[in-house]
Amino acid sequence: MKDEDIVARIEKNPKFLKFVSTRNNYSIIMTLAMMVVYFGYILLVAFNKQFLATKISAGAVTSIGIPLGVGVLVFTIVLTAIYVRRANTEFDAMKDEIIKEASK
Domain boundaries, the chain: 3-103
pLDDT score recorded for residue 16: 95
Residues 28 and 34: their CA atoms lie apart, in Å, by 10
HEC profile of the chain: CCHHHHHHHHHHCHHHHHHHHHHHHHHHHHHHHHHHHHHHHHHHHHHCHHHHHCECCCCCCCECHHHHHHHHHHHHHHHHHHHHHHHHHHHHHHHHHHHHHHHC
Question: What is the pTM (predicted TM-score) of this model?
Answer: 0.83
For 2: left if phi > 0, alpha if psi spans -120 to 50, otherwise beta; the answer is beta
Question: Of the candidates 29, 39, 42, which has an alpha carbon nearest to the alpha carbon of residue 79?
Answer: 29
pLDDT score recorded for residue 29: 97
pLDDT score recorded for residue 1: 55
pLDDT score recorded for residue 5: 84
Q: Please identify every stretch of the chain with a pLDDT value under 50, giving residue numbers as ranges.
A: none
pLDDT score recorded for residue 28: 97
φ/ψ of residue 2, rounded to 5: -80, 150
